[in-house]
Amino acid sequence: MDLLLSKLLPPLLYPLPLACWALIFAIVRFWRAPKQAAIALVIALSILLLSGNDYVATALIASLERQYLPPDPMPKAAAIVVLGGAVVPQTAPRPWVEVTEGGDRILYGAHLFRQGYAPYLILSGGRIEWLGETFQRGEAADMAEIATTCGVPTDKILLDTTSLNTYENAVNVKALLEKHQIEGDLLLVTSAYHMPRSVAIFRRLEMNVIPAPTDYRYLSIARSPTWQNLLLSLIPNPYNVYITTIALREYQGLLVYKLRGWL
């Protein structure tokens, strides 16, 4: 049920699927109820125009990413916790483990370890086996391979390879801390947009985390107030739809986790 609520149902309400549902409704009702079809077409167009708009996408993602900025100076901690969701397995034709756009998570976590900010690197993330897929190992193991390539000793890496969502990340990390008797503050590394939900869950489980966000999609760079930039910002594009979807997914996640009592 948790998988259904957090992984399968929310995508049905993302901008692109919503626009498609409206278009399907318009096609079905076109002959018998042309006014309804016209309204559905307007709704579909509005969804695409808004979600693809640069100002809308930026406002939504920035509302999440601005909540926790990188600490300055970076404090030392008992361990660095890196959450999964940014690595894909070595399956043909990939020659090795690959990172997605959120791959900054494991790279930044390894960087913090190499800089001496904590004596342990905890990697948390499993894999959901969709449509009968099977994986030889969880995502955390793939992240560990990247970390060791970056120079992190294997005996300083602790793995949670079974968690399938952010709540399970926190629960399993807490179990690892207790098992290895690690006490103290934790540097929590995940994507900036994902940090509000992550911090809330870890703190709810009584872990003192210090946000160390990475993978920023919003940059506070002032745009030149030219008509060309204004026009380009208003024209919808696929990347903005993607950014809007990420932000809406996070807000959906916050709502679902709140309803589940995890926040």
The neighbour count for residue 16, using CB atoms within 10 Å, is 17
pLDDT at site 222: 52
Q: What is the pLDDT of residue 103?
A: 92
Say if residues 135 and 89 touch (Cβ distance below 8 Å).
yes
- Asked if 197 and 250 touch (Cβ cutoff 8 Å), the reply is yes
Return averaged pLDDT per consecutive 10 residues of the chain, 263 residues in all. 61 90 95 95 96 93 94 96 91 89 95 97 86 72 96 96 94 97 97 97 96 87 62 84 95 91 88
CA nearest to 173, candidates 117, 107, 111, 121? 121
- d(Cα 110, Cα 113) in Å, to the nearest integer? 5
pLDDT value, residue 152? 97
Tens digits of residue pLDDT in 92-146: 898 999 999 899 999 999 999 999 999 999 999 998 766 456 667 889 999 999 9
Distance of alpha carbon 60 from the chain centroid: 14
* Residue 110 contacts residue 146 (beta carbons within 8 Å): yes
- pTM of this prediction exceeds 0.85: yes
Q: What is the pLDDT of residue 223?
A: 57
- Cα–Cα distance between 193 and 50 in angstroms, integer? 20
Omega prior to 93 cis, within 30 of 0: yes
